[in-house]
Copies of this chain bind each other. A is one copy, B any other.
Amino acid sequence: MRASRFPLATLKETPADAEVISHQLMLRAGMIRRLASGLYTWTPLGLRVLRRVETIVREEMDRAGALELLMPAIQPAELWQESGRWEQYGPELLRIRDRHDRDFCFGPTHEEVITDFVRREVKSYRQLPVNYYQIQTKFRDEIRPRFGVMRAREFLMKDAYSFHTDEDSLRETYDAMYEAYSRTFRRCGLDFRAVLADTGAIGGSASHEFHVLADSGEDAIAFSDAGEYAANVELAEAVAPQGGDVAPTEDLRVVDTPDARTIADLVSQFGVPVEKTVKTLVVAAADESGAPLIALLVRGDHELNAVKAEKLPQVANPLRMAGEEEIRAAIGAGPGSLGPVGLPIPCVVDRAVALMSDFTAGANIDGKHHFGINWNRDVPLPEVADIRNVTAGDPSPDGKGRLQIRRGIEVGHIFQLGRKYSEAMNTTVLDEQGRTLVVTMGCYGIGVSRVVAAAIEQNHDAQGIIWPDALAPFTVALCPINAAKSQRLREAADALYEQLLSRGIDVLYDDRGLRPGAMFADMELIGIPHRLVLGERGLDAGEIEYKGRRDEEATMVAMDGLEEFLRKKLQG
């Protein structure tokens, strides 16, 4: 493509309202433009990248034997009423009324529509398994859309749904999709992890998320430094520390702590090691007819894991932290002075807390803490559960090595859904014996537009985006120096452009006549991975300058060896 015929609309300034680097760079590179909150136009430059991702996703779905179809974006309310989600789904579901006052929604996902399709089309076990996918614009009416296309309202998604007679068949397709997702993100040139995930509101029995690793990621993921284990921190099991010394050595005593309202205060004011402190968090109980509140205890340096906590039968789901008023009414002290000894409400302690001795916690009296607490001697050990987030260095739950924590951006999610939708929507086939059988389902999503943003979060520097070759809008930038002044140089650049095109190389030929600095800045900002610079001197010497987007220095390459040189670069 000649840059003179392709609108490049780079911006020097970082737009003020763009919080994350990918949003900033997509605006600055001219890949997207905002139409309204959470709604973006993909410019020709941006769309080229989006299509690269889409193509890789499509090829890998086809390779995995999934069949592409296309369902309507607009879905009738009746199907959502049948599955129960018309009521359950919150205001993120964009509800629409048509001219005949019938209710519809703009589909954020298509479980209902595909299940309805399959119950009409599939009658016999012989037609299963089947795995349908589509690549389609979805809408989720986020309350506060942000981070550009990372959390837009309208976005491009690949969603797939598989149907099976039994769990074995589901697992087989699930494994094939796991493999297809891994291939997809590998082909995109991304550093990613597949991690065990919570099945959450969608339900089902097993689930993996695919995360692009990036420091700016919203999710924390834990993985073993020695084994295969990887899980979202939401889900990762926190194994109890081994060999904790539980024998008491100190007496229980009450200490005045008038200025200690947090763990950090205790540590700094009293020299207590943080590993000898306990946080007491008060949440709503599941059954408020008994005690309305329940206390959850984690070590001072640990964090409560909300997903784990709300799975406890005693705890209200979704989790709700109690307010100060409620806490005072139930316990008689404020949130900064709570602890297990003399606590008048039920209590669950984390595995790590159960192994502590001689520890410090609030005395359930404002301004006072207990020091030297020991289980059983001072207070019976309450129920023990895994309710904290894992931390770096924790033993891996599979027994191999220790956990590391990295940040990730979720770009894919696969679920063994089970019979949630097929039961609600009475989706059956006849089995080999002619008996009616409710089918079992899997579902599989990739946030196609989000992959673009995630790739940038992982691959950028101060100059701009650094595209992996597979996602680059153009593979090679061809930059002639001062071509306006030299017909010879223009002709040589024109010829080289045609030559590279004819070799199937996707070249952006910067024939705009800009000064070298402005031209290079544009090509770096938009992230073209390979740059060729052609100047008079090189032309005299039969050489051209090459610089990879991550290279520190440029190299001179002989013109007659250029094709071979590039072939190697583009392979690797």
Residues of A near any B CB (own CB < 8 A): 5-7, 9, 33, 35-36, 39-44, 46-47, 50, 65, 67-76, 91-92, 94, 96, 98-99, 104, 106, 113, 116-117, 120-121, 127, 130, 132, 136-137, 139, 141, 143, 153-154
B-chain residues with CB within 8 Å of residue A127 when the two chains form the complex: 7
Given the known interface contacts A65-B5, A75-B35, the answer about A91 and B96 at a Cβ–Cβ threshold of 8 Å is no
Which 7 residue pairs are nearest across A and B when measured between Cβ atoms? A39-B72, A42-B70, A91-B99, A44-B67, A36-B76, A41-B71, A72-B154
Structural contact, B65 and A106, CB atoms closer than 8 A: no
CB-CB under 8 A for A7 and B94, given A35-B75, A35-B76? no
Residues A68 and B47 in contact, CB atoms below 8 Å apart: yes
Check B74 against A41 for contact (C-beta < 8 Å). no
State the CA gap A35–B67 with chains docked (Å).
19
Known A-B contacts: A47-B69, A72-B154, A74-B106. Give 9 more (CB < 8 A): A7-B67, A7-B130, A33-B120, A39-B74, A42-B70, A50-B70, A91-B99, A99-B143, A136-B137
Q: Which residues of B contact A39 (CB under 8 A)?
A: 72, 74-76
User: A50 contacts which chain B residues (CB < 8 A)?
Assistant: 70
Task: State whether B69 touches A117 (Cβ < 8 A).
Answer: no
Nearest B-chain residue to A156, judged by Cβ: B70
The chain B residue sitting closest to A58, CB to CB, is B51
Taken together, the copies of this chain in the complex come to 2
**25 contacts across the A-B interface (CB closer than 8 A):** A5-B65, A7-B67, A7-B121, A7-B127, A33-B117, A33-B121, A35-B116, A36-B75, A36-B76, A39-B75, A39-B76, A40-B72, A43-B69, A44-B67, A44-B68, A47-B70, A50-B70, A73-B73, A73-B139, A73-B154, A94-B96, A96-B96, A96-B106, A98-B141, A137-B137
In the bound assembly, the distance between CA atoms of A141 and B42 in angstroms comes to 26
Contact B72–A41 (Cβ < 8 Å): yes
A116–B41 CA distance with the chains assembled, in angstroms? 11
In the bound assembly, the distance between CA atoms of A115 and B379 in angstroms comes to 72
Q: Distance in Å from the Cβ of A181 to the closest Cβ of chain B? A: 21
B70 adjacent to A41 (CB under 8 Å): yes
Question: Do the beta carbons of A99 and B43 come within 8 Å of each other?
Answer: no
Q: In the complex, which residues of chain B have a beta carbon less than 8 angstroms from the beta carbon of A67?
A: 6-7, 44
Which of B74, B91, B117, B139 makes the CB contact (< 8 A) with A154? Answer: B74
B154/A41 in contact, CB under 8 A: no
**Nearest-CB distance from A495 to chain B (Å)?**
22
Please give, as numbers and ranges, the residues of chain B lying within 8 Å of A143 by CB-CB distance.
99
Inter-chain CA distance A421–B38, complex, in Å, is 25
- Residues of B close to A141: CB separation below 8 A: 98-99
Q: How far is the CA of A69 from the CA of B44 in the complex (A)?
A: 5
For A139, give its contact among B42, B68, B74 (CB under 8 Å): B74
Residues of B within 8 A of A70 (CB): 41-42, 47, 50
CB contacts (< 8 Å) of A74 on chain B: these are 39, 94, 106, 139, 153-154
